[in-house]
């Protein structure tokens, strides 16, 4: 159909425009010609425009169920609801790459419009570096992952009707996540450009700060959406599995968080410039590295796109070219970085941000090494091992304790110099109260180790400190107060949730009942019904509390016939104190069902606190005045 051709040729036009921008920028570097500068704005727009046309064509093809297009054929179906037909556009390898490209070109367009305060040479260099990335992706898409390949004869029906993928949260999770990942490309390009020009100073920091905050906010929300989806849809009440694909999204987030703190130092005190550049390079590198690991088929995960190693090879080469170029540029131009030898003492904000970076880099290295080590071991010694949650827990949790303590102290220190603690006595008293409270909790609930006790104490302490800062109403630092409070709430919620969660797993027949702590779970009945594309089996369960309050749960089993998939829809009752989570499963060949009931305290606070972290960042992003 015509949109196949529109989509395809738009991409090719984009390549031509990108190459034009690239060479135009290079030639402009030699001699500044104002007339050509205006053209660059227009060219940027058209580069974005034609990618948008291409993307839009793919959406149209999905909506119209045009199965002459192989991508649509593989990933869509006529009976899919409209919303999911649209979101199916980016739910596959080729379409999601087109989304990458769309955001890449959009970011560049916005960048060039909004960077008028920057020296023209820096802007041109940013353009050049970004174009290298864009052209690389364009070639990758056109040569190996073209979404507009056609198939003949035209099939009557598509293959893509996996019900697990038809979920609203899963539909918006990729775009939000990509807005985070891909916009770090501008930070990357701008950092390299600024380095070459010797502009890595507080003015550049002020300019790039908005980009860093924007990327960070989107990445935070994107990861949150993924966890929420896993919790509600994957059936067993977990929200983080240390799965390779989850780790891959967490690594750029950690690097970006460290970068965010560094850019504030660079803006206020003109320090930590080399850290800033290195982190900018590493954040985007980790994003592309993540793309490689997920799409090349090198890792074993539930999330990976089905792929072939040829694509993997291309991304690998592209990734290493990027890294190589940035390394070369860094080493060539490092002397441009003015190492400011202003002295700062131990007890200052600068040093606490340095310590913050140290810990974040450690966490990042644990996750990176844990994720790619099995690959290395297999190549080097043909041994296959698995690295999963126990590894990450053992290496991360103990180090979280000093991190939380530093986080309680650091943000309240002054720049340059700090007097010894005010209110020392108040803090010590609270710390002791804290330990008592934690021991008290341990006594009731019994099963926690020393590490957890101290960790709990540290989290409470941080919670108290950040809460105190929040209600102090210091508008100068309100965004820091909100985000840090959100973070402490997150850690506390996760800890309490993992300590206090309880579950029961049992096999029950209709009419049977089972005791769970001080309640009884009664399996009342099963209702069968038929829907448009699945058969539904709903189990009715009544749980009686000791106060004789009754709760009715209706978890569902769905049996789809096209494709043959059985899914479990949990019944989740949420309130501010805890989530009650009920799941039912078929047992093959038996007349009983496998049921799982969990009580998970503070679950909703895990989501709310992450949103709070993002809100803190947004406040900073929208702040207009500077002191």
Partner 1 sequence: MKNRYFFIIIVLFFFFFIVLFKGLKNPNVYIPELQKEKNLSRFEASDFYSNTKTSSLDILNNNNFYLINIWASWCLPCREEHDYLIKLKEQNLIKLIGINYKDNFKNAKKFLNEMGNPYSKILKDKNGTVSIQLGAYGVPETFIIDKNKKIIKKIIGPIDKKIYNEILLIIK
Partner 2 sequence: MKIIKFLPIIFLYFSLFPSFSNEKNSQLENKIFKNLRCIICQGQSIYDSQSDFAESMKLVVKQKLESGMSEDEIYIFFKDQYGEWISYDPEFNTNTYFLWGLPVLIFLLGGAIILRKLAVLKN
Task: Check binding of 549 to partner 2 (CB under 8 A).
Answer: no
Question: Beta strand pairing status for 502-508 and 593-601?
Answer: antiparallel
For residue 452, the 8-state DSSP code is: H
- Which of 439, 445, 475, 622 is in the footprint of partner 2 by CB under 8 A? 445
**Among the candidate windows 141-149, 208-216, 297-305, 406-414, which touches partner 1 by CB under 8 A?**
297-305
Pseudo-torsion of CA 588, 593, 594, 598, nearest 10°? 150
How far apart CA 509 and CA 524 sit, in angstroms, is 9
Cα separation of 443 and 461, whole Å? 19
DSSP labels, 208-271: HHHHHHHHHHHHHHHHHHHHHHHHHHSSSS-S----HHHHHHHHHHHHHHHHHHHHHHHHHHS-
Q: Which of 320, 362, 421, 464 binds partner 1 (CB under 8 A)?
A: 320
SS3 398: helix
Verify binding: residue 162, partner 2, rule CB under 8 A. Answer: no
Pairwise CA distance, residues 262 & 537, whole Å: 54
**Which partner from the list partner 1, partner 2, none does 464 bind, CB cut-off 5 to 8 Å by kind?**
partner 2
The three-class DSSP label of residue 125 is helix
**Residue 168 touches which of partner 1, partner 2, none (CB < 5 to 8 A by kind)?**
none
Q: Which of 76, 191, 215, 296 binds partner 1 (CB under 8 A)?
A: 296
Give least dist CB 536 to partner 2, A: 18
Residue 331 near partner 1 by CB under 8 A: yes
Single out the residue of 51, 134, 138, 298 in contact with partner 1 (rule: CB under 8 A): 298
Q: Among residues 323 and 401, whose Cβ is nearest to partner 1?
A: 323
Task: Write out the two tokens for 404.
Answer: 């939380």
Note whether 381 binds partner 2 by CB under 8 A.
yes
If the CB atoms of residues 367 and 538 are measured against partner 2, the closer one turns out to be 367
In angstroms, the CA 263 to CA 187 distance is 11
Tokens 């056109």 locate to 142
Binding partner 2 (rule: CB under 8 A), the pick from 15, 26, 52, 361 is: 361
For the record, the structure tokens of 239 come out as 């929200």
Element (H, E) at 520: strand 519-530
Contact partner, 313, from partner 1, partner 2, none, Cβ < 5-8 Å per class = partner 1
Spell out the long-range contacts of 512-520 with Cβ–Cβ below 8 A and sequence spacing 24 or more. 516/543, 516/597, 518/545, 518/546, 519/543, 519/544, 519/545, 519/546, 520/544
Nearer Cβ to partner 1 (325/427): 325
For residue 47, whether the previous peptide bond is cis, meaning omega lies within 30 degrees of 0, is: no
Regarding 441 and contact with partner 2 (CB under 8 A), the answer is yes
Nearer to partner 1, 91 or 244 (CB): 244
Residue (of 132, 117, 79) closest to 199 by Cα position: 117
Q: Which does 388 bind (CB under 5 to 8 A by kind): partner 1, partner 2, none?
A: partner 2
Taking the least distance from each CB to partner 2, the nearer of 588 and 624 is 588
300, 393, 529, 574: which one binds partner 1 (CB under 8 A): 300
Nearer to partner 1, 18 or 326 (CB): 326
Q: Which of residues 388-407 bind partner 2 (CB under 8 A)?
A: 388-391, 395, 399
List all residues 6 or more positions away from 35 whose beta carbon is below 8 Å from its beta carbon.
Answer: none
Contact window for partner 1 (CB under 8 A) among 13-21, 57-65, 71-79, 310-318: 310-318
What is the closest distance, in whole angstroms, from the C-beta atom of residue 327 to partner 1 in the complex?
A: 6
Q: Determine the interface stretch with partner 1 among 377-385, 512-520, 528-536, 594-602 (rule: CB under 8 A).
A: 377-385
Binding residues among 480-509 for partner 2 as defined by CB under 8 A: 500, 502-505
- Residue among 63 and 316 whose Cβ is closer to partner 1: 316
Of 31-39, 194-202, 321-329, 340-348, the window that binds partner 2 (rule: CB under 8 A) is 340-348
Separation between Cα atoms, residue 212 and residue 186, nearest integer Å: 9
Least distance (Å) from partner 2 to the CB of residue 332?
A: 23
**Cβ 407 vs Cβ 484: under 8 Å:** yes
Closest approach, Cβ 551 to partner 2, in A, equals 16
Segment interacting with partner 1, rule: CB under 8 A, options 226-234, 370-378, 402-410, 562-570:
370-378
Element (H, E) at 542: strand 534-544
Query: Shortest approach of partner 1 to residue 313 CB, angstroms?
Result: 6
Instruction: State the nearest-atom distance from the C-beta of 295 to partner 2, in Å.
Output: 16
Query: Is residue 299 within the footprint of partner 1 (CB under 8 A)?
Result: yes
Residue in the structure block whose two tokens are 């809460």: 467
In whole angstroms, the minimum distance from the beta carbon of 369 to partner 1 comes to: 12
In angstroms, what CA-CA distances link 611 with 1, 218, 487, 573, 601? 43, 11, 10, 21, 18
Q: Does 234 bind partner 2 (CB under 8 A)?
A: yes
Smaller CB distance to partner 1: residue 243 or 579? 243
Among 2, 306, 346, 380, binds partner 1 (CB under 8 A): 380
CA separation, residue 400 to residues 353, 359, 458 (Å):
16, 9, 9
CA atoms within 13 A on the CB side of 133: 32
Chain centroid, CA 45 distance in Å: 28
Task: Please tell me the distance from the alpha carbon of residue 293 to that of residue 277, in angstroms, as a whole number.
Answer: 24
Shortest spacing between CB 55 and partner 2, in angstroms: 30
Question: Distance (Å, rounded) from C-alpha 40 to C-alpha 115?
Answer: 13
Residue 323 binds partner 1 (CB under 8 A): yes
Residue 358 binding partner per list partner 1, partner 2, none, with a CB distance cut-off of 5 to 8 Å that depends on partner kind: partner 2
**Does residue 367 belong to the site contacting partner 1 (CB under 8 A)?**
no
For residues 264 and 261, give the distance between their C-alpha atoms in angstroms, rounded to a whole number.
5
What is the rounded CA–CA span in Å between residue 542 and residue 81? 34
User: Considering the rule CB under 8 A, would residue 449 count as an interface residue with partner 2?
Assistant: no
Q: Which residues bind partner 1 (CB under 8 A)?
A: 292, 296-300, 309, 312-313, 316, 320, 323-324, 327, 331, 334, 375-376, 378-380, 384
Q: Which residues bind partner 2 (CB under 8 A)?
A: 234-236, 238, 241, 243, 300-303, 343-346, 351, 354-355, 358, 361-362, 365-366, 369-370, 373, 377, 381, 383-391, 395, 399, 426, 429-430, 433, 437, 441, 444-447, 464, 468, 500, 502-505, 517-518, 568, 577, 585, 587-588, 601
């Amino acid at each position: 159909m015509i949109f196949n051709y529109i989509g395809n040729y738009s991409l090719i036009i984009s390549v031509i425009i990108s190459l034009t921008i690239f060479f135009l920028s290079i030639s402009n570097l030699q001699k500044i010609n104002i007339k050509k500068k205006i053209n660059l704005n227009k060219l940027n727009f058209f580069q974005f425009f034609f990618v948008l046309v291409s993307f839009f064509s793919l959406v149209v093809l999905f909506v119209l169920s045009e199965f002459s297009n192989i991508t649509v054929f593989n990933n869509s179906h006529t009976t899919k609801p409209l919303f999911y037909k649209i979101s199916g556009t980016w739910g596959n390898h080729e379409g999601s790459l087109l989304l990458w490209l769309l955001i890449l070109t959009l970011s560049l367009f916005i960048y060039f419009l909004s960077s008028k305060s920057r020296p023209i040479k820096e802007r041109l260099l940013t353009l050049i570096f970004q174009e290298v990335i864009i052209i690389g992706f364009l070639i990758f898409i056109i040569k190996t992952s073209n979404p507009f390949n056609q198939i003949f004869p035209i099939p009557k029906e598509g293959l893509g009707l996996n019900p697990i993928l038809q979920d609203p949260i899963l539909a918006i999770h990729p775009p939000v996540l990509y807005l985070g990942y891909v916009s770090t490309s501008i930070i990357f390009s701008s950092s390299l450009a600024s380095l070459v020009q010797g502009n890595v100073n507080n003015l550049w920091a002020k300019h790039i700060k908005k980009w860093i905050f924007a990327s960070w906010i989107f990445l935070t929300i994107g990861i949150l959406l993924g966890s929420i989806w896993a919790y509600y849809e994957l059936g067993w009440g977990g929200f983080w599995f240390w799965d390779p694909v989850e780790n891959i999204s967490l690594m750029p987030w950690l690097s970006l968080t460290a970068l965010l703190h560094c850019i504030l130092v660079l803006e206020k005190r003109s320090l930590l410039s080399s850290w800033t550049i290195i982190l900018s390079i590493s954040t985007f590198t980790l994003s592309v590295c993540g793309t490689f690991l997920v799409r090349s088929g090198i890792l074993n995960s539930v999330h990976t796109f089905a792929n072939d190693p040829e694509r993997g090879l291309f991304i690998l080469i592209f990734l290493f070219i990027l890294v190589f170029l940035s390394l070369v540029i860094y080493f060539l131009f490092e002397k441009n970085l003015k190492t400011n030898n202003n002295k700062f003492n131990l007890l200052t904000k600068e040093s606490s941000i340095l310590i913050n970076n140290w810990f974040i880099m450690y966490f990042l290295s644990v996750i990176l090494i844990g994720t790619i080590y099995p690959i290395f071991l297999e190549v080097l010694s043909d041994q296959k091992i698995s690295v999963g949650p126990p590894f990450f827990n053992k290496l991360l949790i103990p180090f979280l304790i000093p991190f939380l303590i530093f986080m309680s102290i650091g943000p309240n220190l002054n720049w340059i110099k700090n007097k010894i603690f005010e209110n020392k006595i108040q803090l010590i008293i609270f710390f002791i109260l804290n330990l008592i409270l934690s021991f008290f909790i341990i006594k009731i609930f019994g099963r926690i180790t020393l590490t957890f006790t101290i960790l709990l104490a540290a989290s409470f302490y941080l919670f108290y400190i950040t809460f105190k800062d929040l209600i102090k109403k210091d508008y100068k630092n309100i965004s820091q107060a909100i985000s840090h409070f959100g973070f402490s709430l997150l850690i506390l919620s996760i800890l309490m949730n993992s300590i206090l969660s309880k579950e029961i797993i049992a096999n029950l027949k209709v009419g049977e009942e089972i005791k769970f702590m001080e309640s009884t779970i009664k399996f009342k009945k099963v209702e069968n019904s038929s829907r448009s594309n699945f058969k539904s089996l709903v189990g009715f369960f009544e749980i009686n509390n000791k106060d004789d309050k009754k709760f009715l749960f209706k978890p569902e089993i769905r049996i789809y016939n096209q494709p043959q998939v059985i899914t479990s829809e949990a019944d989740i009752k949420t309130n501010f104190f805890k989530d009650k989570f009920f799941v039912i499963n078929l047992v093959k060949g038996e007349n009983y069902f496998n049921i799982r009931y969990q009580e998970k305290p503070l679950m909703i606070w895990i989501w709310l606190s992450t949103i709070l972290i993002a809100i803190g960042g947004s406040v900073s992003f929208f702040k207009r005045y500077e002191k």
